[in-house]
Amino acid sequence: MDKLRIIGGKPLIGKIRASGAKNSALPILAASLLTDQTLRICNVPHLRDITTTVELLGRMGADIEIDARLNVEINTKNIKDYVAPYELVRTMRASILVLGPLLARFGQADVSLPGGCAIGLRPVNLHIAALEALGATITIENGFLKARSKGRLKGNDFTFENITVTGTENLLMAATLAEGTTIIRNAACEPEVVDLANCLTAMGAKIEGAGTPVIEIQGVVSLYGATHRVIPDRIETATYLAAGVITSGKVTIRDTRPDFLTAILEKFTDMGAHITIEDDSITADMQGRRPKAVDITTGPYPEFPTDMQAQFAAINAIAQGRGIITENIFENRFMHVLEMQRMGAQMHIDKNTVTCFGQDKLSGAPVMATDLRASASLVLAALAAHGETIVHRIYHIDRGYECIEEKLQQLGADIHRV
Ligand code: EPU
């Protein structure tokens, strides 16, 4: 199994380009199930979760072409199978995103239940409630969600009990082909939801309010093909900026969207980074200084994202002072803390908070990645630590970071896959 070997202690300096957003590309790939015409998706990142989704669509009978620049063309005219099997859903929970589109276009979908997850329970009750509100019948049989609809789904006024990103996306996709109007209340406002809505609109959907808590969709009888370019990945962008901050370096990310990162950039500034924004690029410059610890509280967009919590824990581990991290989205997202403690971090977990007492230095150690963002945080900690760190189980990182070692090498990091 691949590992990453990192020798830390060097300030990272340089410029890299942001990849396309994983969490946009995944629902947009699923949206190809809503039409019998070809959907062309550009700026798709080269990631394991993308390959898994492409495999899932391929098994259902989709025709897929991918060119050298990772533009993906999908045609789902010949779909013959409406099943998302356990072996794929198990490795990628986002497979649940095929539920809404399959149900809306074909009136049936069998999606394996995702099961346990390293970052918490992550149930699917809200996806079920939302689709039932459009008239679907959903049962659980043999570990599968079996969703059926007699005729077209029916538009409805639905309020999510809690904000859910993929739940909002599933309902949004299903509603595009439903009869009449659907109103989604307490919708997720993440830029990835807006990107999906923009793609659906290009396919002929009638959507208003994406990016706000109330989205209104006028159902149409059919959608058509389109070309859509996926937005830049804000979490990837922020993770590489964090690599600059944690090593007291200076990192520029090009081809990104600074407006998606407001809450994160404020925290980098509080840490002492000098942030410069120019059109589509962001520079974080520590001017050689050690970062200052900050308090972080995660919440739905536009609040501070849970997907950056672990990376900020890594910075707090070596920062000046004490920082308190409060995780409000997932109940078990502190696995990285135990690994960082093995590198010398002083951190104490109490329910959903971690108090970090910044140390002058961390020391390299063998560590184990437990989920995608936890792995990223361990790589960051290793970049700042003295000596060698081996990060095991890096298949997690390949789910969400395209060419991570090449990009970090471009910034001057001593990192190799072994
Ligand atoms: N929840 C329920 N019931 C549901 C759905 C969600 O109780 O039916 C709860 C979850 O357990 C969680 C909260 O609602 O406590 C929010 O979860 P959400 O549904 O928003 O998460 P998600 O849609 O499964 C997406 C991202 C995650 C990201 C979260 C939160 C994708 C493919 N995944 O997950 O990304 O952490 O939103 O922003 O968009 C990652 O990229 O590393 C990642 C985990």
Instruction: Reply yes or no: is the peptide bond before residue 11 cis, omega within 30 of 0.
Output: no
Compute the distance from residue 279 Cα to the ligand 1 centre, in Å.
30
Structure tokens at 18: 């942001």
Q: Could you read off the pLDDT of 371-404 as tens digits, one per residue?
A: 999 999 999 999 999 999 999 999 899 999 999 9
Ligand 1 atom closest to 331 (CA): 15
What is the average pLDDT value for the chain, to the nearest integer? 96
* DSSP E strand boundaries for 270-413: 274-278, 281-285, 296-297, 322-326, 346-350, 353-357, 366-368, 388-392
Compute the distance from residue 47 Cα to the ligand 1 centre, in Å.
19
Residue nearest to atom 35 of ligand 1 (CA): 307
CB proximity list for 141: less than 8 A, separation 6 or greater: none
Instruction: Say if residue 370's pLDDT is above 90.
Output: no
Residue nearest to atom 9 of ligand 1 (CA): 122
Q: Catalytic: which of 42, 117, 189, 356?
A: 117
Q: Could you read off the pLDDT of 166-224 as tens digits, one per residue?
A: 999 999 999 999 999 999 999 999 999 999 999 999 999 999 999 999 999 999 999 99
Structure tokens at 195: 């990107």
pTM of the model: 0.98
Q: Could you read off the pLDDT of 243-288 as tens digits, one per residue?
A: 999 999 999 999 999 999 999 999 999 999 999 999 999 999 999 9
129, amino acid identity: A
Contact 250, 281 (CB under 8 A): no
Indicate if 403 belongs to the active site. Answer: no
Contact 169, 193 (CB under 8 A): yes
Q: Which residues line ligand 1 (CB under 6 A)?
A: 23, 26, 93-94, 120-127, 162, 164-167, 192, 305-307, 329-330, 372-373, 400
Ligand 1 atom closest to 188 (CA): 20
Compute the distance from residue 128 Cα to the ligand 1 centre, in Å.
14
Compute the distance from residue 45 Cα to the ligand 1 centre, in Å.
20
Structure tokens at 414: 């001593």
First vs last Cα of the chain: how many Å apart? 9
